[in-house]
Every structure is written in structure tokens, then in C-alpha cells.
Amino acid sequence: MSRLVMKFGGTSVANIERIRNVALHVKREAEAGNQVAVVVSAMAGKTDELVAWCSEAAPLHNGPEYDAVVASGEQVTAGLLAIVLEEIGIPARSWQGWQIPILTTDAHGSARIESIDGGEIVRRMERYGEVAVVAGFQGMHKETGRLTTLGRGGSDTSAVAVAAAIHAERCDIYTDVDGVYTTDPRIVPRAKRMERIAFEEMLEMASLGAKVLQVRSVELAMVYKVPTYVRSSFDDPAAPGAGTLICSEEDIVEQPVVSGIAFSRDEAQITLRRVADKPGVAAGIFGPLAEANINVDMIIQVVSDDTTTTDLTFTVGTADYERARNILESRRGQIGYADMQGQTEVVKVSAIGIGMRSHAGVAARAFRALAEKGINIRAITTSEIKFSVLIDEAYTELAVRTLHSLYGLDRAA
């Protein structure tokens, strides 16, 4: 007998019929003798609607009330699934975040889980064989007693955290795709489903644009070593397909040099021309951005012709672009630059693989291949298991396809 967490995303619980289908997946695992905790998202589109209602009610609404509103979507699906499970003879009860409790920080709208008491859930599994149906995405801040939410996509994180708290053998994330692909199959039809991917690689894939899982959930899975399985809720509940297992790298036998290609259109580039080339200038630029909670990603600095000034290019998320420009504009005097230029039509394409640690020249091959296609690289960053290039957005598909076949990831036709 094993203990499992099964998580179902918004499209999997989009209506009552789909919730019935989810119940059949749960039934299969429960009848196989497993102790099961289920974590659910809100019905597809529900959270967007709730978020929009908050903005309509008041553009600058307060954080705790926003959370009170948006957390409600998960309360509904947790209750509905428990009802449907009971109806087909599986003992179940719903749990809201605060009832467990799942305690979080008070960063409303993007709170982090601090602790989960899984004791009562486990006791009831053992004593009554009861399935715990947990509302994802929500928690509570202990000191204020207020509801919190974990940021968009946060139910994945709820699921992995519950799995760690109840010492589950595995966390199964059921979604509308049947696993993690070498890249987005909508861009590269010959992308392959991976059998396995290492935690570190998945963390990079998710951080660099792959949208399957919330980044924080992968971090937690890695820290607590929770084997996490991404699989489809649209498979026949009686005969589910394989999915992708996210696991420790030791559990992966054949490790390709590059495992996947990710891309993110959520990038904007800012260039400051003729910045004084003297100590303290970088701090003068990036300090205020950091204080404003703006994440700077790629940075390149080039010495210009006159040697006393330099050009500085860096990227920020699209959502922070205007804010970053305003901050730099207001400090133009202190920083001292001649001109600021910006570009939002850029995309970051990344190749990820723990095999890069032991192979030289992996990125160099990509630069050559992209050049042959006439794709200009605006910026580059590398780390131990990935490299990223910033290019014009118009070349996204060409670049992703080029790298995908360059590293032998295309599925045989």
C-alpha cells in the first residue's frame, strides 16, 4: 500500500462531468489500496473571473480581500469532488487550506507555505480509509488569521507540499497534457514526451518558460525529494497512460546532453547608452530596480568607442518593463547616461540539460546553428545546466525548431 497525492488542474475539473471523471481516477487508486489525498484547482477560467471581479470592484483592492475572493474557486471544486466521491462509494471529505492548516507568509497574492500539519489527514486515512480532498492554492497566515493564496498556478505547489507533509510516496499532477515535452508541441510538432526528467532540469524548464508546473512546486519537489509525475486526466481512468516522472538524476539511466528547449516571450530589453564607465555605476542602476522588486535577468555591458563610457543592456519581465523605465528615467541625473532604449518584441530561448556539465561546446554549436539561419543574438547567459539566448520575437519558432533538432530531440517522423 502506498500513500499518494493526486492533483487535478482547472481543465480537469472544468464541469461536473469532468469532476466525475476525476473521481474515477481517484477511485482507481483508492481501490488499489492506496491512501489518497487529492488537491484540486478551481474550474478552468474561474480564477481569472474572480481576479477580474476584484479589479472591477476597485482597481487598488487590498491583498487579504483579494485572497478571500480568489481562494473561493478551489473551495467549490474541493466540495464538489468530495460529494461525487461519496456518491460512488469512496469515503471523502473536503479541506480548505485553513482547516488543515496550511500556514503561509502574509505575502497576499503570492504567499509561501511555511508549514503544513498533515496529522489529521493521515489519521483519517488510516482509520477510515477516507480520501482527503484539499482545496489547492490557499493557505492561512497564522498571526492575522487571514486567508492567503500562493500565486497563479499555486495548486501545484499545494500538491507537492501536501505530499511532503504526509510523506506520500509520489505526487501525481493530472493535467490536460500527457506529460512534459522536450519543447512546446504546438511550436515543434515533433517534440517528444520525456519518460523522466531530473528535478534540476524541470526547475530550469519551468523557470525559463515551460508552463506545465508552477516553479515553486518544482523547488519543493526537489528539496523534499518528492517524485512527481505529470500525467493526463483525459486518459481512460481504467488504463491511464505513462506521463513524465520528475525525479532525482540518479534515477535517470540515459541522460542526453540537452533534455529540452524552453522559451519565454515574457521578456523585455532595456539598453542604456553611454553610461559612465566607473565603479558604482552598476550598483546605481540595479540597486533601485532591486528595491522596487524588479528582477533583472540577462546583463551585458560593452565598452564603447570612447572608453570613458559603456553601453549596458539587460532584460526584465514584460510586466516590469514600464516600471523599470520610469525608475531609470527618474534617476537619469544620478546614473548619468546619454540615452535609454527599449524593446519588448524579444524572446528568450533556452536549452537545458544536466548533461551540459560534462560536455564542452554545447552552447557554441547553438550559436553557429542560429547564425546559419540568420538569427541575431542580442544577449546570452549560461549556467552549469543551461544557456539562454535573447533574440527577436519574430524568430521564436525558427530558433526553437533549430535547437530542438540540433540536439537530436526530434521524434522520428
Q: CA geometry: angle at 382 spanning 268 and 150, to 5°?
A: 60
Question: Binders of ligand ASP among 6-35, rule CB under 6 A?
Answer: 9-10
Stretch that binds ligand ASP, among 151-159, 191-199, 259-267, 282-290 (CB under 6 A): 151-159
Whether the CB-CB separation of 232 and 176 falls below 8 Å is answered with yes
Is 61 or 365 the residue whose CB approaches ligand ASP more closely?
Answer: 61
Question: Binders of Mg ion among 3-42, rule CB under 5 A?
Answer: 9
Name the phi and psi angles at 20, rounded to 5.
-60, -40
User: Could you tell me the smallest distance in angstroms from the CB atom of residue 159 to Mg ion?
Assistant: 10
Stretch that binds ligand ASP, among 146-154, 198-206, 269-277, 304-312 (CB under 6 A): 146-154
Q: Does 41 bind ligand ASP (CB under 6 A)?
A: yes
Q: Does 154 bind Mg ion (CB under 5 A)?
A: no
Question: Binders of ligand ASP among 113-142, rule CB under 6 A?
Answer: 136-137
Q: CA geometry: angle at 53 spanning 48 and 59, to 5°?
A: 110
User: Could you tell me the smallest distance in angstroms from the CB atom of residue 74 to Mg ion?
Assistant: 12
Which of the choices Mg ion, ligand ASP, none does residue 233 contact, using the CB cut-off of 5 to 8 A by kind?
none
Whether the CB-CB separation of 120 and 100 falls below 8 Å is answered with yes
SS3 call for 40: strand
The residue within the footprint of ligand ASP, chosen from 155, 183, 259, 388 (CB under 6 A), is: 155
From residue 177, give the alpha-carbon distance in Å to each of 38, 138, 173, 174, 355: 19, 24, 10, 8, 26
The residue within the footprint of Mg ion, chosen from 73, 97, 118, 153 (CB under 5 A), is: 153
Stretch that binds ligand ASP, among 58-66, 116-124, 147-155, 385-393 (CB under 6 A): 147-155
- Indicate the angle between helix axes 281-291 and 321-330, nearest 10 degrees: 130
Whether the CB-CB separation of 246 and 218 falls below 8 Å is answered with yes
Question: Binders of ligand ASP among 70-109, rule CB under 6 A?
Answer: 73
User: Could you tell me the smallest distance in angstroms from the CB atom of residue 109 to ligand ASP?
Assistant: 11
Q: Does 240 bind Mg ion (CB under 5 A)?
A: no
User: Could you tell me the smallest distance in angstroms from the CB atom of residue 130 to Mg ion?
Assistant: 26
How many other C-beta atoms are found inside a 10 Å radius of the C-beta of residue 287?
12
336, 294, 347: which is closest to 312 by C-alpha? Answer: 336
The residue within the footprint of ligand ASP, chosen from 97, 118, 153, 209 (CB under 6 A), is: 153
Which of the choices ligand ASP, Mg ion, none does residue 73 contact, using the CB cut-off of 5 to 8 A by kind?
ligand ASP
> In sequence order, what E strands does 92-169 have?
92-95, 102-104, 113-116, 131-135, 138-141, 146-149
Size (the chain), residues:
413
Stretch that binds ligand ASP, among 40-48, 90-98, 302-310, 325-333 (CB under 6 A): 40-48
Q: Does 323 bind ligand ASP (CB under 6 A)?
A: no
For residue 353, give the DSSP letter.
-
Cis peptide leading into residue 256 (ω within 30°) = no
Q: Residues interacting with ligand ASP, by CB under 6 A?
A: 9-10, 41-42, 47, 73, 136-137, 152-156
Residues that bind Mg ion (CB under 5 A): 9, 153
